Each structure stands twice: as C-alpha cells, then as structure tokens.
A = this chain, B = another copy of it.
Amino acid sequence: MKPIQVGLLGIGTVGSGVFNVLQRNQTEITRRAGRGIEIAMVADLDTERARTVVGEGVRVVADARAVIANPDIDIVIELIGGYGIARQLVMEAIEAGKHVVTANKALLAVHGTEIFAAAHRRGVMVAFEAAVAGGIPIIKALREGLTANRIEWIAGIINGTTNFILSEMRDKGLDFEAVLKEAQRLGYAEADPTFDIEGVDAAHKATIMSAIAFGIPVQFDKAHVEGITKLGAQDIRYAEQLGYRIKLLGIAKRRDSGVELRVHPCLVPARRLIANVEGAMNAVMVQGDAVGTTLYYGKGAGSEPTASAVIADLVDVTRLHTADAAHRVPHLAFQPDSLSDQPVLSMSEVVTSYYLRLRVADQAGVLAQVTGLLAGAGISIDAILQREAGEGENQTDLIILTHDVREGTMDEVLAQVQALPTVVAPIVRIRKEELA
C-alpha cells in the first residue's frame, strides 16, 4: 500500500525531530502501523532551512495553504504554534477533510471547542498527544487507559522550565532571578520566559487535561494561573524542613459543586514520587476511583520527545482513519454530545491547605493571636515552625501549615491576621496538596 501522505506545517525544533525520527525508525514504525508514513510536503517561511532538514526528496513550500490544498495529503501536522495563523490553518485543513496532528496547547486550550466541533462535523481526527507533557502518553492514558474511572483529580508537573528552576533553587539555595539567568544560558528557559514562569503554558496543558478527565469543555479563561516568580529561597528551605518540596503544579480536581482548575506553586510531601521529579522532567499524577493513584513520568519538551508524541498520533490516525467516525476515540474522551456542564469554580471556592510565612514581632502572645484568628474561622493547624529571633533581632519568621479550608475563608482570615500590629510584613502564602 502507498504510504500515508503527511504535510508538515512549520519545521523548527519539533518538526525536525518528527522528520528525523520518522526517517530513522521508518521500518519499525511501518511494522507497527501496517503502512508507511511519509512526510511528502513541508511548508515553512524559511524554505532554505526546511530544505536543509529534509533534503531533496520532499517538496518544500513557503505557503502552508499549498499543503492543505494538495489532494494527495491525508494528514496535516501543525507545528507553527500560537493562536493566529495556526488557528486558521488548522480550521482550513479540517474543512479540506484532512486529519490534523498538532502540538499546539495554546490553540486547543483557547479554541479547542470550535476546532473539535469542526473536526466532528467533517469526520476527521484532531490528535494532540504532543500538546501535553511532550513525550509522555498522558492524553492516551486519560482518554483510553483510564476510561473505567471517575477521575477524582489530576496534578502535574507539566512545565519543564519552571521545574528546572525550582530544582536548582532548592539544590543551590539560590534566588529565582539568579537561577532564571542560568536556565536561559543553558537553554532551559527562553529569552522571553513569561509563558513558562508565569504559569500560562502549564495552565494551557491543565485546561486540556481537565476537559478529558471530566468531560467538560476546554475553558482556559476560567483557569487560575500563577507562576513562580515571587517564590523566595527561604520558603523552599522552610518547606524542606517541614518535609515538603515546592513544585509548580497544574491541578484539575472534581468537587461536588464543580471543577477546580488551577496552576500555582504548591507544597508537596517530599516522600511522594512526584516531589522527586527533578530538573526539566515532567510527571502527571492521576487519581481514579477504581485504579487509585497512577503516575506518568518523562520528558515534557525537546525535539525528539515531542516528536515521539506527534508520531504516535500519526500512527493512531494511520491505524484508525478508515474506521467510521462515530466509532473512533472521541477527541476529548467523552462523546461530543455528552459533555458535562460542571462549572469551573472560582478560586474562593477552591479547598486546599496552606503554608503561611509571617514576619512577626518577637514578643509574647503573637502566636496566640494568630492561631486564635485561624481557630475562630475553623481553620485547624497541621504544623508550626517558629524560628528563634537572631541575636539583636526583634522580629522572626513564623511558619504555619494548615489543614484544608475554603480559599475564600482563608482570604478573610489572612486580612485580619495581616492587620495585627505584630505582623510586620506582607504574609506569604503558598498552597499545599497532600496528593494522597
């Protein structure tokens, strides 16, 4: 049989990986897919660079629409990124009856509903394993491997840049700014690292996973997004002393009243496997009611790890594109006509526990004042760490770990605590998840 014909839009880091891995493992991949997979056409504005990657045997064009218009092309891979032209091209490819494979998490987290609806109407597949956690087959695990389960929650380290920075801050006791510079020098952070360090990238991925886990639409605009730029080295140290690590987690959690969808730094017990995921690695924990806890670990970015996911999608499409559309795996795990209307909860409705660091006057009665206010709101305390004031100091750090409480309640109490004359600096608060 003639190899399935693939058109590639954008041949940068990931695109080159896709081309190279497909070439290198051609025999093995064909033995699995039952049919060859051939990149027949590549579109990139930089046609010269594209030509360097693919050599002479592949048609290279500057105009992506020439790929979409080519009737011989069965599958279009979109690796351009962003919401702009990528969105138009994906929609046009779908309308042209092409199956689409994409690594574009931003696009799907924001415009996924429109894209999947169009694909459903047109009877084509949109596959996106590479959009979340790079080479880890987490989309497949959630969508197919855990279908028996009522998913309770997902918590993932899904941004390698921030995990690298947090690992280095802990290892070397350095501040955020210093480590960021180092990460940029090593290529772990981009020149403009905003999307990574502010949590936006992780929130795109958490949004996609929340849809697959709970059968809700993708709704990035409802996600709470918080990065790691304000984390202090001392909080990482205090957390360590209390038996915790600080990780940037993407969390999606089912509650009776709706779904929590949030990205923020988080204390995690040091004995959990996920707390020991270091450097630029990714890991996702999934809690299902039947299976219990599962965890998926691997490289979340990079040329060939991401290519691994893109090609897995190509093989899936090759294996399944002849099946009638109604019997394929639904894009977001649930059949499109049976999505849930569970709302995404506001942060004041979120229930979690907290790490609080208070700078307090070193005088009798402060602890009683603070814990009294917490107790008054029904917030119970899990652990307290009080440093002795240094010689000549009249202030000290008071660290409190709480049990679970509604965030709205915590907001109110912390306003009262902050107003105490003995609390002499802004309170630092970091959420904590036991992940048990």
Which stretch (A60-68, A332-340, A345-353) binds chain B? Answer: A332-340
Q: Give the residues in chain B near A334, CB-CB below 8 Å.
A: 31-32
Is A199 among interface residues, defined by CB-CB distance under 8 A? no
Which stretch (A91-99, A176-184, A298-306) binds chain B? Answer: A298-306
Q: Are A323 and B322 in contact (CB under 8 A)?
A: yes
Is A17 among interface residues, defined by CB-CB distance under 8 A? yes
Which stretch (A114-122, A138-146, A238-246, A416-424) binds chain B? Answer: A138-146
Q: Are B34 and A335 in contact (CB under 8 A)?
A: yes
* Interface residues in A304-362 (C-beta closer than 8 Å to B): 304-305, 307-312, 315-316, 319-324, 326-330, 333-335, 338
Cα separation A145 to B308 with both chains bound (whole Å): 8
Q: Give the residues in chain B near A316, CB-CB below 8 Å.
A: 144, 147
Is A29 among interface residues, defined by CB-CB distance under 8 A? yes
Contacts A315-B144, A316-B144; A297 near B298 (Cβ below 8 A): no
Cα separation A30 to B24 with both chains bound (whole Å): 40
Is A194 among interface residues, defined by CB-CB distance under 8 A? no
Q: Are A32 and B147 in contact (CB under 8 A)?
A: yes
Q: Give the residues in chain B near A321, CB-CB below 8 Å.
A: 327
A: contact size bracket: 35 or more
Contacts A28-B150, A135-B292, A294-B296; A34 near B144 (Cβ below 8 A): no
Contacts A29-B148, A150-B25, A328-B319; A135 near B298 (Cβ below 8 A): no
Contacts A136-B294, A137-B141, A273-B273; A335 near B32 (Cβ below 8 A): yes
Is A290 among interface residues, defined by CB-CB distance under 8 A? yes
Would you give the shortest CB distance from A325 to chain B, in whole angstroms?
11
Q: Are B28 and A215 in contact (CB under 8 A)?
A: yes
Is A53 among interface residues, defined by CB-CB distance under 8 A? no
Chain A window 219-262, contacts with chain B (Cβ cutoff 8 Å), 1 for yes, 0 for no: 00000000000000000000000000000000000000000000
Cα separation A149 to B307 with both chains bound (whole Å): 10
Report, nearest first, the 4 A-B pairs whose CB atoms are least far apart. A137-B145, A148-B311, A294-B298, A323-B323
Can you name 22 A-B residue pairings with CB atoms under 8 Å?
A: A22-B148, A24-B289, A25-B149, A32-B330, A32-B335, A33-B147, A135-B291, A147-B316, A273-B276, A290-B304, A290-B311, A291-B305, A291-B308, A292-B298, A293-B297, A293-B298, A295-B296, A295-B298, A319-B327, A322-B327, A323-B323, A323-B327
